[in-house]
């Protein structure tokens, strides 16, 4: 099969994981990289042995026949980048948070719809091996009628934000940056939400926005999800960047615990599974399960393009997770439960 030719936009911190993950896929070649800062683009090009580097997306698209683009820039740039890529009808995968407000996210979705061009949000937490294994066991063990979920991301390791200094200045921080993943996981595991009630806290004054939040979600299937996250949760060993999950069903329960240990309780028995991510040379703790999930997310993007099926986390789908994020802020502000 002919290799698909891709371009990567944004040569910052997280793009290194994207390019290394692309290199694990045999039918793909990233032929161009682009960054507004040409020095960064050139450095990235040499480091990862890419053919071309640009500082202008339009120029890059005019010069090369590109089958897809992977956008690894921060949210406030996505509408403008989406305007260009949808105009050229280039299938796009775009990092989370999809946009800084719902209006812009909807604008991007309608641009791609109008141009009949596929658009996926790179929502990678549901593609982490421990989460995929959890879902696989739920299905295999026929756990039914869920009534309770707790999805937690609590740590005190600055590695989560010292590489991403733009996070310090966000007025809306942890829910938008990490809550977006956790709300998506609630939808992945428990189905769609009906309402949300949230309390935010700031526990670290280096940040303008909230550094802790607790949300209570009523789901359409009548189950409840508790989502909580913090960057001030001191534990040894530190829990970054592991999402811990507890789920209860009418016929059993299952937990995703620290170190990817999965524990199933069913028929008066306890079974233990291992949800460890696969090892690759460039992957290391504490980012391992996030890094590995980038490969899985890329694979899903390409598989859906080739088979002409809608992506699980299409732009349209991600608006549902983003809507939970912005209604979560509204709930905290108004101190009330908000219907979705």
Binding site for ligand NAD (CB under 6 A): 9-15, 34-37, 40, 57, 72-75, 77, 81, 95-96, 124, 164, 166, 177, 290
Nearer to ligand 89Y, 17 or 223 (CB): 17
Could you count the other beta carbons within 10 Å of the beta carbon of residue 259?
Answer: 11
Q: Is 31 strand, coil or helix?
A: strand
Which of the listed partners (ligand NAD, ligand 89Y, none) does 10 bind, with a CB threshold of 5 to 8 Å by partner kind? Answer: ligand NAD
Q: Is 149 in the site for ligand 89Y (CB under 6 A)?
A: no
Number of residues that bind ligand 89Y (CB under 6 A): 8
Residues 151-190 that bind ligand 89Y (CB under 6 A): 160-161, 164, 177-178, 181
Count the residues in the chain. 340
Does 10 contact ligand 89Y by CB under 6 A?
no
- What the block records as the tokens of 330 is 């509204």
d(CA 198, CA 34): 39
Q: Any contact of residue 292 with ligand 89Y (CB under 6 A)?
A: no
Burial tier of 130 (Cβ tally within 10 Å: 0-12, 13-18, 19+): buried
Query: Minimum distance between the CB of residue 121 and ligand 89Y, rounded to whole angstroms?
Result: 12
Question: For ligand NAD, which is the closer residue by CB, 170 or 247?
Answer: 170
Torsion on CA atoms 149, 96, 14, 38, rounded to nearest 10: 180
178 binds, among ligand 89Y, ligand NAD, none (CB under 5 to 8 A by kind): ligand 89Y
The item of ligand NAD, ligand 89Y, none sharing an interface with residue 321, based on CB under 5 to 8 Å by kind, is none
In the bound complex, what is the minimum distance in angstroms from residue 57's beta carbon to ligand 89Y? 23
Span between the terminal Cα atoms of the chain, in Å? 44
Q: Is the peptide bond before 97 cis (omega within 30 degrees of 0)?
A: yes
CB closer to ligand NAD, 41 vs 143: 41
Read off the tokens for 38.
């040409």
Instruction: In angstroms, give the least distance from the CB of 194 to ligand NAD.
Output: 27
Residue number, 64 or 208, with CB nearest to ligand 89Y: 208
Q: What is the dihedral angle through the alpha carbons of 73, 79, 80, 86, rounded to the nearest 10 degrees?
A: 100
Q: How far is the CB of 87 from ligand 89Y (least distance, A)?
A: 28
92 binds, among ligand NAD, ligand 89Y, none (CB under 5 to 8 A by kind): none
Q: Is 288 in the site for ligand 89Y (CB under 6 A)?
A: no
Alpha helices by DSSP H, listed for 284-337, are 288-306, 315-334
Rounded to a whole number of angstroms, the minimum distance from the CB of residue 161 to ligand 89Y is: 6
**DSSP element (H, E) containing 47:** helix 38-48
How many CB atoms sit inside 10 A of residue 120's CB? Answer: 25
In angstroms, rounded to a whole number, what is the distance separating the alpha carbons of residues 33 and 53?
Answer: 5
From the list 57, 2, 65, the residue with the least C-alpha distance to 33 is 57
**Cis bond before residue 47 (omega within 30° of 0):** no
Task: Say which residue the tokens 């091996």 belong to.
Answer: 129
> Which residues between 215 and 274 bind ligand 89Y (CB under 6 A)?
241
CB-nearer residue toward ligand 89Y: 117 or 164: 164
**Which does residue 57 touch among ligand 89Y, ligand NAD, none (CB within 5 to 8 A, set by kind)?**
ligand NAD
Nearest-approach distance from CB 98 to ligand NAD, in angstroms: 9
Q: Which residue is nearest to ligand NAD (CB)?
A: 12
Write out the residues near ligand 89Y by the rule CB under 6 A.
Answer: 160-161, 164, 177-178, 181, 241, 290
């Amino acid at each position: 099969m002919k290799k698909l030719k891709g371009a990567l936009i944004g040569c910052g911190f997280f793009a290194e994981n994207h390019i290394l993950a692309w290199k694990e896929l045999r039918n793909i070649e990233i032929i161009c990289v682009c960054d507004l800062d040409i020095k960064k683009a050139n450095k990235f090009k040499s480091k990862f042995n890419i053919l071309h580097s640009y500082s202008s997306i339009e120029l890059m698209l005019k010069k090369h026949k590109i089958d897809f683009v992977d956008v690894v820039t921060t949210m406030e740039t996505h509408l403008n980048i989406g305007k260009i890529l949808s105009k050229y009808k280039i299938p796009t995968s775009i990092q989370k948070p999809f946009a800084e407000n719902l209006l812009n996210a909807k604008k991007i979705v309608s641009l791609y719809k109008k141009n009949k061009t596929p658009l996926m949000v790179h929502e990678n937490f549901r593609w982490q091996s421990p989460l995929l294994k959890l879902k696989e066991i739920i299905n295999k063990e026929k756990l039914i009628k869920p009534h309770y979920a707790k999805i937690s991301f609590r740590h005190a390791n600055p590695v989560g934000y010292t590489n991403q200094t733009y996070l310090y200045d966000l007025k809306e921080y942890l829910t938008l940056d990490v809550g977006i993943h956790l709300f998506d996981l609630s939808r992945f595991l428990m189905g769609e939400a009906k309402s949300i009630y949230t309390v935010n806290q700031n526990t670290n004054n280096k940040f303008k926005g909230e550094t802790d939040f607790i949300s209570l979600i009523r789901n359409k299937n009548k189950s409840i999800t508790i989502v909580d996250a913090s960057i001030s949760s001191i534990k040894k060993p530190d829990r970054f960047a592991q999402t811990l999950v507890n789920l209860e069903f009418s016929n059993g329960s299952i937990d995703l615990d620290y170190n990817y240990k999965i524990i199933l309780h069913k028929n008066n028995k306890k079974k233990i599974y291992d949800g460890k991510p696969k090892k690759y040379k460039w992957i290391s703790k504490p980012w391992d399960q996030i890094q590995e999930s980038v490969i899985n997310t890329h694979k899903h993007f390409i598989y859906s393009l080739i088979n002409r099926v809608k992506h699980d986390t299409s732009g349209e789908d991600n608006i549902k997770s983003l809507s939970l994020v912005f209604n979560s802020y509204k709930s905290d502000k108004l101190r009330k439960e908000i219907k979705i």
